[in-house]
Structure 1
Amino acid sequence: MSGLLLFKQLLTKECCPGVHWDSARNRLKFAARSLFMPLSTMKYLSGLTNTACCDAILKKQPLLPTKLQRPYLSINFHRKNKSAAICDHYRITKSVLPPAIFSRIYSNEPFYLCPVEGKESLCHLWLDVQDAFNKEGELTLEMRDDAGEILARSAFTLLDLNEKRTLFIGALQGGVSEQAHHAIRAATKNCHGVFPKRILTEVICLIASLFQCQQIIASSNETHIYRSRRYRHKKLTQWVADYNTFWESVGGTANPQHEYILPLTLPRKPADEIASKKRAGYRRRYQLLDNVAQAVCERLQLPQPENKTDVQHNLI
């Protein structure tokens, strides 16, 4: 199927991947915005139609055809970057993941990654495509407690950027409900003092390694999509996260584009720098993270990369 044919089918509802496309007003807005960038739109839609399992991906992400018309990943991404990034993501994931795992991730239900076994209870990691984060990444990694309370979520995209395989993090946030603060504090205690966001970041670094990424880049307070002109007044008042401080706490450094470059492996404090009375606690933390890494690799049916944890850094 060509990009032009997909465009026609979306406008006529021959292709209706979600309720968004039931609305004539939404279809008209899509058509009008496409007229301002006809060549880019056709090239982008053609790229989508050439993607393996295009129909399944569209059902999972009905707004995918509109992404060229919205801010995406970072305010530094422009039309050409966005189109390439999205098409790259599906090409990369399809080439690395076993076919059954790829199909399962893009099925109707969230993909269960693994449990996080704490001192007294379990938390759980899920990989999904969530509409709430469709402008901040193609995949969402989520951590929940045993009661289903969201503890942390992160959205990211895999792409080739400046000739480097890259994992780009567009969002990282904690829980949003009234009970989330208490749940996060309880989960941190249960996980030997490791914050849920830290666990997610460890898993994201692992995913980057599994997909042979050469760099991990994260949006910052200055480059998050809510800083774009489109959302500056509507969404910025909702902004509560401090990305910069968190990225720096895990060893990230700002680049000239005001994004953060994260280490491919988050460094761990060596034993000789830990007071003897605290070493047992650190061992339990690191063992928890290692157990999660092993479980993620087994679930994705990918070989676990070599462990590189000898970099000295004040952590956890």
Structure 2
Amino acid sequence: MLDFGKIGKKIYNLDNPREFRRYIVFRGRCMLHPLRMKRLEKFFVSSELLAKIADIYPFVYEQPTRAFFYNKSTFEERADLVEKHMMFLIDNLKENEIIDLYSKKEKILWESSDDGETLHLELMYHPGQRKEGLLSIRLVAADSGILYQIMFWIAPDKSGEWSLWIGAMQGPNMENAREVIKQLTKRCHAYRTKNLILHATQEVAKALGLKHIYAVTNYGYYAMNHIRTDRKLKNSFSDFWAESGGIPCKDKRFYELPLTEYRKTMEEVPTRKRANYRKRYALLDEIDNAIRDNIGFLCK
């Protein structure tokens, strides 16, 4: 049996009172779910690669014990989610690429230095994002920092088809965020940055051969930190998913999103805007091709 006390010490800073409390809670929850934790341990020691992942990313043992991923998720659901996600990666990605991702080494999906500041999309992961997922797609500007990111995991849906599940989308958090986003939107030919990060996520899902995309709703979000103290939403996930062609699922915690973003035909676009739309579509085609090629490099 694994020493969860030792694992907890790798996860938490015991000099911090809040972290020490989480360490105690983690150990307690492991003791309350001995059979499921034993199965989780058995899974992660079943191969050299899985053992290596758990060693560099011990949070695979913590995530099932906390109320992460989506609202009212159960211990069993979270443990199964972690296992299924890792199984998909092992079956589809090269070993060294998986190790890199969980060693905080980003994989560039697209990059451009045209029209100013270098901009890129990347696939990466950081333990600080573990509340909402097991991988991230980020839009990053060289000087400004992270502009948008989507956290997600990969697991089968109820029909057994492999799907990408979006746990959260986060926007910029810098002082001049409004101006940075304004300039980037102009650079992307009036294409909103949050649409761009979702578009990239759709393309990643297709490049990985996934069949569906699901996203947590306002109700489905695991926590309430997207709600202000006056109970008004900071950001409405549900509204954006609906704007993006999403359809509410029977499970009100999720929307199903289209795998491909809808594009207006030139006939649908006012004449004065057509030149801008052509430039935007050319940019998106460039991004799509780069994502397809770069995901291909990661795959077996």
TM-score range, shorter chain: 0.7 to 0.9
Q: How far 1:277 sits from its partner (Å)?
A: 2.3
- Is residue 284 from structure 1 mapped to residue 284 from structure 2 by the alignment? no
What is the aligned partner in structure 2 of residue 37 from structure 1?
33
Identity %: 23
Name the Cα RMSD after superposition.
2.9
- Amino acid in structure 2 at the alignment position of 1:190: R
Alignment CA distance shift 1:211-1:169 (3 Å): same
Measured in 2, the distance between the counterparts of 1:21 and 1:47 equals 28
1:197 alignment partner, one of 178, 194, 197: 194
TM-score, normalised with respect to structure 1: 0.82
Asked whether the equivalents of residues 20 and 26 of structure 1 are also in contact (C-alpha less than 8 Å), the reply is: no
Q: How far 1:76 sits from its partner (Å)?
A: 4.6
Q: How far 1:77 sits from its partner (Å)?
A: 2.7
- Amino acid in structure 1 at the alignment position of 2:295: L
What is the aligned partner in structure 2 of residue 109 from structure 1?
105
What is the aligned partner in structure 2 of residue 179 from structure 1?
176
Q: How far 1:233 sits from its partner (Å)?
A: 9.8
**CA deviation digits over 1:44-98, x for unaligned, max 9?**
2322333663354345534221111112221153222211111111111222223
Asked whether the equivalents of residues 73 and 168 of structure 1 are also in contact (C-alpha less than 8 Å), the reply is: no
Measured in 1, the distance between the counterparts of 2:191 and 2:48 equals 38
**Counterparts of residues 92-131 of structure 1 (less than 5 Å):** 92-116=88-112, 119-131=115-127
Measured in 2, the distance between the counterparts of 1:234 and 1:12 equals 37
**Counterparts of residues 73-152 of structure 1 (less than 5 Å):** 73-116=69-112, 119-152=115-148
What's the secondary structure of 2:62's corresponding residue? Answer: helix
Asked whether the equivalents of residues 104 and 126 of structure 2 are also in contact (C-alpha less than 8 Å), the reply is: no
The runs of 5 or more residues in structure 1 that have no matched partner are 304-316
Asked whether the equivalents of residues 110 and 120 of structure 2 are also in contact (C-alpha less than 8 Å), the reply is: yes
- Amino acid in structure 1 at the alignment position of 2:272: K
**CA deviation digits over 1:147-206, x for unaligned, max 9?**
142210110000112112110000101112222222111111111111221111111111
**Counterparts of residues 296-315 of structure 1 (less than 5 Å):** 296-301=291-296
Alignment CA distance shift 1:21-1:157 (3 Å): farther
What is the aligned partner in structure 2 of residue 222 from structure 1?
219
What is the aligned partner in structure 2 of residue 308 from structure 1?
none
Larger deviation: 267-276 or 102-111?
Answer: 102-111
What is the aligned partner in structure 2 of residue 46 from structure 1?
42
Q: How far 1:24 sits from its partner (Å)?
A: 6.5
- Is residue 261 from structure 1 mapped to residue 235 from structure 2 by the alignment? no
Q: How far 1:12 sits from its partner (Å)?
A: 3.9
- Is residue 66 from structure 1 mapped to residue 66 from structure 2 by the alignment? no
Larger deviation: 136-145 or 48-57?
Answer: 48-57
Larger deviation: 168-177 or 93-102?
Answer: 93-102
Measured in 1, the distance between the counterparts of 2:256 and 2:80 equals 20
What is the total number of aligned residue pairs between the two structures? 294
- Amino acid in structure 2 at the alignment position of 1:57: I
What's the secondary structure of 1:184's corresponding residue? Answer: helix
Q: How far 1:17 sits from its partner (Å)?
A: 4.2
- Amino acid in structure 2 at the alignment position of 1:217: Y
Asked whether the equivalents of residues 116 and 125 of structure 1 are also in contact (C-alpha less than 8 Å), the reply is: no
Measured in 2, the distance between the counterparts of 1:236 and 1:211 equals 41
Asked whether the equivalents of residues 93 and 102 of structure 1 are also in contact (C-alpha less than 8 Å), the reply is: yes
- Amino acid in structure 2 at the alignment position of 1:175: P
Asked whether the equivalents of residues 252 and 261 of structure 1 are also in contact (C-alpha less than 8 Å), the reply is: yes
**CA deviation digits over 1:188-242, x for unaligned, max 9?**
1111111221111111111211222221100011110014xxx899999796221
What's the secondary structure of 2:61's corresponding residue? Answer: helix
Asked whether the equivalents of residues 44 and 51 of structure 2 are also in contact (C-alpha less than 8 Å), the reply is: no
- Amino acid in structure 1 at the alignment position of 2:250: P
The runs of 5 or more residues in structure 2 that have no matched partner are none
Measured in 1, the distance between the counterparts of 2:11 and 2:52 equals 12
Alignment CA distance shift 1:145-1:193 (3 Å): same
What's the secondary structure of 1:141's corresponding residue? Answer: strand
Asked whether the equivalents of residues 61 and 129 of structure 1 are also in contact (C-alpha less than 8 Å), the reply is: no
What's the secondary structure of 2:240's corresponding residue? Answer: helix
Alignment CA distance shift 1:38-1:234 (3 Å): farther
